[in-house]
Amino acid sequence: MAVALVLVLIVVGSVLFHLLSPWWWKPIASNWGYIDNTISITFWITGVVFAAVVLFMAYCVFRFRHREGNRAAYEPENKRLESWLTIVTAVGVTALLVPGLFVWSQFVNVPSDATVVEVVGQQWQWSFRLPGKDGKLGRSDTREVTADNPLGVIAGDPNGQDDVVVEAADLHLPVGKPVKMLLRSIDVLHDFYVPEFRAKMDMIPGSVTYFWFTPTKTGTFQVLCAELCGQGHPLMNGIVIVDTEQDYVAWLDQQQTFAQLSAPQQTGSAQQAPGKATASALKVAAKLETVGSR
Ligand SMILES: [Cu+2]
């Protein structure tokens, strides 16, 4: 009797916790409402199945409890029950999988008017690269990474000269414009994740993965790394600021291009490039010190 009661309390407690919990998604700030719907469908199906199975178990524990003289009936096969359970399970599993397939087909089909932004993950900071006026990103190679070329842009590629390099600083995006995020890592597995955008994906050294989304709200959003990537992983934070078109253009005007960063003698920023690289290294060192002192 006590076991049956505990099982019922587990179901009631779980449902109440789900309904009353203060921990829930942050308000969505992208076009991916479909992803929220898919997760809600999964919650409902797994929740109903969990409650049904545990309540059935509680019923059986109570109904078939030990009584003097009672004997269990042995029934090795029951065709009707087996077909019924097979059909219900198949419908449940299909309902769990199908919405995800619809979302995935949209997730990997990037709109033709999407602009491109490259995200580079590195222990333990985020950097970004945007195509310059030519609209094309230059090629890159991890073997080209140096203190003055932190993203490994290939210097000989003319498309890369006007690329805007944002090293270990905030990324700005214009509101309402679809953007394709090209994801690279130059050391270990990372995962670019902004909770309000809902979309995320692993970054794999040697590959370029991608997803797309349209920011729908202006504001400041936190970037998290959703892949355990070493000692400094919990501090691998970044900032994405979604701007109005006007603010975005003003920000873009202040950024430096790859050509400016890699040719300090021509731009008069001789101290700036190495200074920036040193600042970035100090930032990582400070993060590690914080982790070490925990
Ligand atoms: Cu990471």
How remote is the CA of residue 187 from the centroid of ligand 1, in Å? 9
Residues 50 and 152: their CA atoms lie apart, in Å, by 50
pLDDT in tens, 228-254: 999 999 999 999 999 999 999 999 888
The rounded Å distance from CA 230 to ligand 1 centre is 7
Distance from residue 66's CA to the centre of ligand 1 (Å): 55
Q: What is the pLDDT of residue 184?
A: 93
* Distance, CA of 25 to CA of 285 (rounded, Å): 32
Residue 250 is given by DSSP the state H
CA distance 15 to 234: 31
Q: How far is the CA of 185 from the centre of ligand 1 (A)?
A: 9
- The pLDDT tens digits for 114-126 are 999 999 999 889 9
Among 231, 225, 216, which residue's Cα sits nearest to residue 190?
225
pLDDT digits (tens, 9 = 90+) for 41-90: 998 999 999 999 999 999 999 998 888 988 888 888 999 999 999 999 99
Ligand 1 center from residue 273 Cα (angstroms): 25
Please give the DSSP secondary-structure letter assigned to residue 76.
-
* CB-based contact 184:203 (threshold 8 Å): yes
How far away, in angstroms, is 40 Cα from ligand 1 center? Answer: 28
Distance, in Å, from the CA atom of 254 to the CA atom of 249, rounded to the nearest integer, reads 9
Model pTM above 0.75: yes
Cα 277 from Cα 126, distance rounded (Å): 14
Centre of ligand 1 from the C-alpha of residue 200, in Å = 13
Chain centroid to Cα 236, Å, comes to 13
